[in-house]
Amino acid sequence: AKPVIAIVGRPNVGKSTIFNRLIGDRLAIVEDKPGITRDRLYGTGEWLNQSFNVIDTGGIEIDGEDEILKSVRVQAELAIEEADVIVFMVDGKVGITPADEEIGQLLFRSHKPVVLAVNKIDNIKMQENIYEFYSLGFGDPIAVSGAHGIGIGDLLDAAAQHF
């Protein structure tokens, strides 16, 4: 079976943008309901001749602020079950939020391999924003920019260590 990468993180950090970078054109499954978007997306990518599956778990977002923590908990649990390696995505422009910390604790307890990706590092000057994320406890943060396609190879190198 192909190794599975799951992208986990609170809403709006850029999971879907990175997902699209990882899979190129090979997209799957979208399903919408009012108030709930269950567009849990599966795709296939390739890195150094190795095929992998990738899940954008962030499609599960329930409307309403109070539901955010609940929704990230659900997506994290789903990812934990299926993934060989989890890409924990955070927002390098916003910094660490309580929801990030909550997700981090869930992932930590899972004992699955986690690669920490700091998205929205769009230029060299923003590089300094990644350091605060060491405190999440997942080792070296990997700087990426889904918008600009920066750091995707570094992210895949790190993930592929756990294939």
- Residue 16 within binding range of Mg ion, rule CB under 5 A: yes
- Residue 9 within binding range of Mg ion, rule CB under 5 A: no
Cβ proximity to Mg ion: between 45 and 58 the closer is 58
* Shortest distance, position 60 Cβ to ligand GDP, whole Å: 11
Candidates 14, 43, 45, 58: give the one binding Mg ion (CB under 5 A).
Answer: 58
- The partner in contact with residue 45, picked from Mg ion, ligand GDP, none with C-beta cut-offs of 5 to 8 angstroms by kind, is none
- Phi, psi values for residue 95, rounded to 5°: 90, -175
Cβ proximity to ligand GDP: between 16 and 163 the closer is 16
Identify residues 41-70 at the interface with ligand GDP (CB under 6 A): 58
SS (H, E, C) the chain: CCCEEEEECCCCCCHHHHHHHHHCCCCCCCCEECCEEECCEEEEEEECCEEEEEEEHHHEEECCHHHHHHHHHHHHHHHHHHCCEEEEEEECCCCCCHHHHHHHHHHHHHCCCEEEEEECCCCHHHHHHHHHHHHHCCCCCEECECCCCECHHHHHHHHHCCC
24 in a known ligand binding site? no
57 in a known ligand binding site? yes
- The partner in contact with residue 50, picked from Mg ion, ligand GDP, none with C-beta cut-offs of 5 to 8 angstroms by kind, is none
Cβ proximity to Mg ion: between 16 and 44 the closer is 16
Binding site for Mg ion (CB under 5 A): 15-16, 58
